[in-house]
Structures are given as structure tokens and as C-alpha cells.
Amino acid sequence: MDYNKKKTLKDIQVLDKKVLVRVDFNVPLKDGQITDDNRIQASLPTIKYLVKQGAKVILLSHLGRIKSEEDKKTKSLAVVGQRLEKVLGQKVTFIPSTRGEALENAIENMKNGEIILLENTRFEDVKDNQVIKYESKNNPELGKYWASLGDVFVNDAFGTSHRAHASNVGISTYIPASAVGLLVEKELQMLAKGIDNPDRPFVAILGGAKVSDKIGVIDNLLNKVDKILIGGGMAYTFFAAQGHKIGTSLLEADKIAEAKRYLEIANGKIILPIDSATSKTFSNEKAEFYGLDLPDGVMGLDIGPKTIELFQKELIGAKTVVWNGPMGVSEFSHFAKGTTAVAEAIVSLKNAFTLIGGGDSAAAAIALGFKDDFSWISTGGGASLEYMEGKVLPGIDAIQAKQ
């Protein structure tokens, strides 16, 4: 699937047009306050471009999951509208509804360059305390209604592009013109460069808890990469497949046969850890180190110092590195060393293209202070993971192709 043949902002005319923009304002909140506005910042280039081009900009986003009327009280986009107005330096009119006369009138009275933000699109998932999932299940009537509010649709929410929702696929289906925004365009270019057209040697690093989460990625990448370094909880299922003792470490017993098969067909491309940082409990206590076999009552929570050395060595000379998933329980300081060391090894590479495929590894790299040291850190965990699996992304697929 060549997503780089989809229409971009440069391919559409937006002057005097009502442009519906699906953004990703799914920001973390604590006590009603935004704790990290990265996603708002990431949307600014597309919003500013459309304003400059004389569009009437209508923004749609979800915020969290809505399963009851109670959820709506804490998941309003009003606070996001205020932050956006501040960082944009321009008035943003928040409309506290997802449909209806007030919204329609506000859009009808817009002048070129003005911005409206709708209420949380997932408010459409619950009505009168009934879960109806109109947004999440791409209800055609809702997609058609939202499409009727504008002339052009722009998808700039890469983080939701692996889902078929009314606010992306639904609108795209019923609107005359559609394109990807600047953030999505950049995401697609970077993912294509890292995964579809890599400079060699090409090394993938996979971590995280479960083999089952990464099976599609291993399947898709095994024929493309020169090496796959595996860390995190998922490594222990591979150890079990090799007959090693793993103590009380995370194990997916139903994936042992799958892990064996990968090891057989990998022709030495899969590089596993050779030691572990362990604890007797799932807590931030001081680590004890063991080799390939762990005693009873001990769980592996990070790669050990010998593995760090091995992975550093395996990365030497790499020209493309794609990383998805931390090497250990990186939120515990005693078990963040593997993730930190891998991040340091990647960013020290000269003339290499380095990409983090969103999710926990992206959060860990940013928390550890490496935000600006990678070629690209994806904004979409699930979407970038599915791209790495070679799956179709419905939110992008529905956008019109260039002529």
C-alpha cells in the first residue's frame, strides 16, 4: 500500500472552503488540566497552513473513551480549546456539541481564517446512558452528517488512522474532497523510509510485554531486516521456547510454538538477551542479575548488563533502526537501564535513520530526554504498529488518491 500517493494539503484548494480537520487532541488530563500538550503542538502546522490559505477550519477530535454520561463530565474538549487558543495565538471558538443547530449556525457564519472546535467526537458513542458507538463503529448517518458540514476533509490524526471511525473514514466517504494533513504526510514519509525503503544494515528492536502484540511485526519485518533485537517481557516466551527456566517472568504459554517457529525460520536474524535484571516482586527494588536461566520465584524485569553490551555491539554500523517497545519495566528506575542504554546506543549512531514506532518506547525515549535525538518519533502507537505489520490503515486508505 503506497500511502504516499494520497492527496496532501498541496493538492487541494481551500480558499473560502469549510475544511473539516480530524486532529488528535487525545491529551492526558489530571484533575481537569492538560499534563502534556505534545499532540496539540503537533497539529499546529496544518491548522496554521489552512488559516493562512483562507480556509474556514473546523476541528474534530476524540478525548479518551466514553462509556457513560458520567464520562462526558470529565472528557470535554473545552480545556483543549483554551490551550489551543493560547499556543496558536488566535481565537478558537469551542462549540459544546457534536451536532445540531448551534453548531450549524456557527459554521455557516464563519469567516475565512476562523477556527471552530467541536465537542469530543466520542460523545456520540453514548446517548441517554446507552452505549451506541456511533463514532467508534463508523455509523454512516453520523459520517454523512459531519461531512455535510464542510467542503473538504483533512485527516491529520495519525494516532487514530488504524481505526475506521465516523470522524475519519465516515467523513472521507461522504465528502467531495479529502487529503492528509502535514503531520500525517510526514508520518507516512518517515514510516515508508524506515520500513519500506531502508538503508542497510537495517536493525529492528522489539520490546514490550507480549509476543502476541508483536507477531504481525515479526512476520512482516523478518524478511526485510538484517537483525531483530528482542527485549522486554516478550523475550521470556522465546527463552521458554529454547528450554530455559524463566522463574515467574511473563510467559505466553500459547505462543511458545510460535516463538520456536520464528527462531527456526529467522536464520540467526533474531538476537535474544543473554542476561536479565530481576526482582522477586513486580516492584522498583534493587535488581539482581542472572544469565539465561532464572531461579524459581524470580522475575525478569529488564535486560541485563551483558545484553546491553551485546545489543550495543549489534547496532554498530546500522544505517536504519526501527524501535518499538521498551526493554524492561522502564517506569521503575532500577529496570529502566536497558531502555536507556538502547536509546543512547541508537542516538549515537552516525548517519543513521532512527525511528521509534510510537507507544511506550516513544513515551520512554521522551521521558529520558531523547525527544530531539531520533530522526522521527511516531505520534501513533497502534497506527505505527499496524503499519509495521503491513496492515491497511483505514483512516488513510479512505483519503482520495492524487490524480
Q: Does residue 86 sit in the same domain as residue 147?
A: yes
Q: Does residue 158 sit in the same domain as residue 205?
A: no
Q: Which domain holds residue 30?
A: 3-183
Q: What is the pLDDT along the chain (403 residues), one digit of tens a residue?
A: 678 799 999 999 999 999 999 999 999 999 999 998 989 999 999 999 999 999 999 999 999 999 999 999 999 999 999 999 999 999 999 999 999 999 999 999 999 999 999 999 999 999 988 999 999 999 999 999 999 999 999 999 999 999 999 999 999 999 999 999 999 999 999 999 999 999 999 999 999 988 898 988 999 999 999 999 999 999 999 999 999 999 999 999 999 999 999 999 999 999 999 999 999 999 999 999 999 999 999 999 999 999 999 999 999 999 999 999 999 999 999 999 999 999 999 999 999 999 998 778 888 888 888 888 999 999 887 899 899 999 999 999 999 999 8
Give a yes or no: residue 94 inside a domain. yes
Q: What pLDDT score was predicted for residue 115? A: 98
Q: Does residue 220 sit in the same domain as residue 163?
A: no
Give a yes or no: residue 399 inside a domain. no
Catalytic residue among 18, 83, 245, 382: 382
Q: Does residue 142 sit in the same domain as residue 36?
A: yes
Q: Does residue 362 sit in the same domain as residue 314?
A: yes
Q: Does residue 171 sit in the same domain as residue 204?
A: no
Q: What is the pTM of this model?
A: 0.91
Q: What pLDDT score was predicted for residue 365? A: 84
Give a yes or no: residue 162 inside a domain. yes
**300 annotated as ligand-binding:** yes
Give a yes or no: residue 400 inside a domain. no
Give a yes or no: residue 394 inside a domain. no
Q: What pLDDT score was predicted for residue 44? A: 98
The total domain count for the chain is 2
Catalytic residue among 247, 359, 381, 395: 359
Q: What pLDDT score was predicted for residue 360? A: 80
Let me know if 359 is a catalytic residue: yes
Give a yes or no: residue 235 inside a domain. yes
Tens digits of residue pLDDT in 266-317: 999 999 999 999 999 999 999 999 999 999 999 999 999 999 999 999 999 9
**268 annotated as ligand-binding:** no
Give a yes or no: residue 265 inside a domain. yes
Q: Does residue 97 sit in the same domain as residue 209?
A: no
Q: What pLDDT score was predicted for residue 1? A: 64
Give a yes or no: residue 207 inside a domain. yes
**63 annotated as ligand-binding:** yes
Q: What pLDDT score was predicted for residue 55? A: 98
Let me know if 210 is a catalytic residue: yes
Tens digits of residue pLDDT in 87-143: 999 999 999 999 999 999 999 999 999 999 999 999 999 998 899 999 999 999 999
Q: Which of 136, 159, 183 is the last residue of a domain?
A: 183
Grid coordinates representing 79? 480545556
Q: Does residue 155 sit in the same domain as residue 233?
A: no
**89 annotated as ligand-binding:** no
**163 annotated as ligand-binding:** yes
Q: Which of 149, 183, 217 is the last residue of a domain?
A: 183
Q: Does residue 384 sit in the same domain as residue 250?
A: yes
Q: What pLDDT score was predicted for residue 362? A: 85
Let me know if 39 is a catalytic residue: yes
Q: Which of 183, 208, 230 is the last residue of a domain?
A: 183
Catalytic residue among 39, 75, 227, 337: 39
Q: Does residue 106 sit in the same domain as residue 254?
A: no
Q: What pLDDT score was predicted for residue 289? A: 98
Q: Does residue 47 sit in the same domain as residue 149?
A: yes
Q: Does residue 158 sit in the same domain as residue 229?
A: no
Let me know if 382 is a catalytic residue: yes
- Supply the CATH number for residue 53's domain: 3.40.50.1260
Catalytic residue among 210, 245, 306, 391: 210
**65 annotated as ligand-binding:** yes
